Structure 1
């Protein structure tokens, strides 16, 4: 994906987020130079910030996702009695833009439709080996109420509705009837090791640097924020 395209997506996404009265934290708008000059150690370590992905497929409009991680704990703190064991993201799923089938080994997450169209989530259970079970009914919790759905069911969430997904819940999602602003509240988020995809795809985009970055992505930190 070209950096110029990523910059456009950042501007469009920020405007969409603001249209719902949501505001990102101040560090979101630091220039690459300002972010490097600031005390960025915790932002980098916790991988907080912008994330635009096409899953390495170079077809963002068909398969992709806009994310911003506003807060995040550390994997090394998991299991402690008193620690930051949670994460929060704001995301945008565009109409018919697929976030592909995946699950997590550790993360439990609430996926919340914060506004816009309908968020459609395709659901399967994992078998004992962690693979997709295409026959087993799916057990999820929708706004605190347990629901049992057939394998492969499309769960439709209207604005204000949410679903709780556990590591044994395979899921893919997309927007229908309008782009969707998505909230995610979860245990510690680790996009480097805790995403298991059905297909052999990447988690981050391959970037062609045709212009300077407007803001750094979390995938830029190791390069641009190195000492």
Structure 2
């Protein structure tokens, strides 16, 4: 994927969010202890059974704390997912059950608009 394509996607996403708001998909949270879990959605703690599903309406959000294991999926149409991270360090911020690559190789045909922590070595050294 070319950097210019990534920058275009970011611009389109930002315009979409300003125009229509953010739509988050359902959230599934589970506990290895198989007990009831509390999860914060728009500042309100909701209790779910382990493995329960929290469905979010357009504009609603969920706060994930370190150690919250989760999976996202969209239902009933197109879904745009957004993440706000306190660190945004893709090398240490996320742990996946099955190893997956974060991004495809990027052909750097233009400068990035926004850097990830993992971009620092390439762009700030």
TM-score (norm 1): 0.44
Counterpart among 1, 4, 9 of residue 7 in structure 1: 4
Aligned position for 1:122: 28
Report the 3-state secondary structure (helix = DSSP H, G, I; strand = E; otherwise coil) of the residue aligned with 1:179: coil
Q: Deviations over 1:95-136 (max 9, x none)?
A: xxxxxxxxxxxxxxxxxxx424x51112112xxxxxxx1723
Counterpart among 212, 220, 223 of residue 109 in structure 2: 212
Give me the whole-angstrom Cα distance separating, in 1, the residues matched to 2:22 and 2:106. 32
1:170 shift after superposition: 0.6
- The 3 A distance-change label for structure 1 pair 181 and 172 is closer
Give me the whole-angstrom Cα distance separating, in 2, the residues matched to 1:194 and 1:12. 23
Alignment check: 8 A CA contact 1:142 1:164 kept: yes
More strand by share: 1
1:166 shift after superposition: 1.8
Q: Deviations over 1:10-49 (max 9, x none)?
A: 3133113213327xxxxxxxxxxxxxxxxxxxxxxxxxxx
How large is the RMSD of aligned CA atoms in angstroms? 2.9
1:222 shift after superposition: 1.0
- The 3 A distance-change label for structure 1 pair 10 and 145 is same
Aligned position for 2:58: 159
1:206 shift after superposition: 4.5
TM alignment of 1:15-26, pairs within 5 A: 15-21=12-18
Give me the whole-angstrom Cα distance separating, in 2, the residues matched to 1:194 and 1:15. 25
Q: Post-superposition, which runs of at least 4 consecutive aligned residues in structure 1 deviate over 6 A? A: none
Give me the whole-angstrom Cα distance separating, in 2, the residues matched to 1:167 and 1:221. 23
5+ long unaligned stretches in structure 1 = 23-113, 126-132
